[in-house]
Amino acid sequence: MEANVGWTVGRTIGRGATSTVSLAAATTTGDLFAVKSCPLSRSSLLRREQSILSSLSSRHIISCLGSDVSGGCYHLFLELAAGGALSDYAGYLEESKIRSFTRQIVLGLFYLHSRGVAHGDVKGRNVLVGEDGRRVKLGDFGCARRLGDVGLVMGTPAFMAPEVARGEAQGIESDIWSLGCTVLEMAMGKSPWPEVSDPAAAIHRIGFSAAVPTTPEWMSAEGKDFVSNCLRRDPKERWTTEQLLRHPFVAEADEEPPAPCSNPKQRMWVSPKSSLEFGLWESATEEGKEEELLEIIKQLESPSANWSWDDSWVSVRETTEEGEEGYY
């Protein structure tokens, strides 16, 4: 998406430590996307995220659609996943689905690591689900870094590897530990360290003890072995993504389980952006069909999103008939 294309910002659908994620729409086409925004004075991390994401191209990673500067803020345009975050489904997944999602996450990490990039904050909240509930992609690259880059370690305490918790290093091996924690999160529906609620206590236990998260008894032997190969306290002993892809827990998992219908469009990654391209909206743009349009939007709803279209939507950039741009 070009920066000079008009767009409108809607409801807030997520908040982070330094930025806000909102629903947005292109003025001319109505295409929906996510926009991650922060003040220009604090935009260095978001600009770094844009730099990394724009260099990547994988069906297992959320796409960067462009960026813009307006209203004193830096805006990063991102593909919008209609299914919400994987953490919203955690605790309600059969092992077959956990295997499938895990394989897709590992494929995303395999691509990242082969490009010399560490994600830095792998967890269920940063894995986004497609509208069909079958495909997932890695998102939120706010903690990502290129190998060799120096700087403060970042991430979510409960998902940090021991070396990260100690502030020693953060690299591709750390992503593998976080992957193991994410598998446990999918299985249990809670933190991999459920007995520790204080972030400081979690960092101390992860970084300065011999403890590892507990795998639930009901998981298969293959699942337990997969997790144990991720959760090795010595980063040199953790399996690589290439090794993990050959592990029986994910080696034969359905990467993209077929949709229940034979329509090939239903076998694609479906987000509101791509759904618009399916022509679903053409019949709803005629006079008197606004309610039908709203119902189509609601069908794409993320679990916690508010899709009501009202006067709170604000035009951020608008192109006039004369071609002049306006900023709001």
If asked whether residues 139 and 219 sit together in one domain, one would say yes
Q: Which is more confident, 223 or 149? A: 223
If asked whether residues 53 and 68 sit together in one domain, one would say yes
Q: Examine the pLDDT at 293 and tell me if it is beyond 80.
A: no
- Maximum distance among all Cα pairs of the chain, rounded to whole angstroms: 67
Domain boundary among the residues 223, 251, 279 is at 251
If asked whether residues 136 and 234 sit together in one domain, one would say yes
Alpha carbons 268 and 138: distance in angstroms, whole number: 17
If asked whether residues 243 and 229 sit together in one domain, one would say yes
Residue 36 labeled ligand binder: yes
The answer to whether residue 262 sits within a structural domain is: no
The answer to whether residue 225 sits within a structural domain is: yes
If asked whether residues 92 and 202 sit together in one domain, one would say yes
pLDDT at 310: 56
If asked whether residues 92 and 118 sit together in one domain, one would say yes
Q: Which is more confident, 217 or 3? A: 217
Write out the residue range of the structural domain in which residue 316 sits.
7-82+271-327
The answer to whether residue 260 sits within a structural domain is: no
Q: Please tell me the least confidently modeled range out of 4-13, 186-195, 224-233.
A: 4-13
Q: Examine the pLDDT at 112 and tell me if it is beyond 90.
A: yes
Looking at the 3D structure of the chain, how many domains does it have? 2
If asked whether residues 66 and 147 sit together in one domain, one would say no
Alpha carbons 130 and 61: distance in angstroms, whole number: 12
pLDDT at 15: 84
Half-sphere exposure of 147 (CA within 13 A, CB side): 12
Residues linked to residue 85 through DSSP beta bridges, in sequence order: 128
Catalytic residues: 121
CATH code at position 45: 3.30.200.20
If asked whether residues 13 and 101 sit together in one domain, one would say no
CATH code at position 214: 1.10.510.10
pLDDT at 150: 81
If asked whether residues 288 and 201 sit together in one domain, one would say no
What is the average pLDDT score of the chain? 82
Residues 6+ positions from 163 with CB-CB distance below 8 Å: 169, 170, 173, 174, 207, 235
Burial tier of 200 (Cβ tally within 10 Å: 0-12, 13-18, 19+): exposed
If asked whether residues 196 and 69 sit together in one domain, one would say no
The answer to whether residue 216 sits within a structural domain is: yes
Percent of the chain with pLDDT over 70: 76
Alpha carbons 7 and 13: distance in angstroms, whole number: 17
Domain boundary among the residues 219, 251, 283 is at 251
**Looking at residues 31-55, what average pLDDT do you find?**
95
The answer to whether residue 263 sits within a structural domain is: no
If asked whether residues 94 and 66 sit together in one domain, one would say no
The answer to whether residue 258 sits within a structural domain is: no
Q: Examine the pLDDT at 117 and tell me if it is beyond 80.
A: yes
Q: Token digits for 226?
A: 């997969």
Amino acid, single-letter form, for residue 94: E
If asked whether residues 156 and 304 sit together in one domain, one would say no
Q: Token digits for 242?
A: 């290439």
Write down the pTM of the prediction. Answer: 0.78
pLDDT at 267: 38
The answer to whether residue 2 sits within a structural domain is: no
Instruction: Classify the phi-psi angles of 76: left when phi > 0, otherwise alpha if psi is within -120 to 50, otherwise beta.
Output: beta
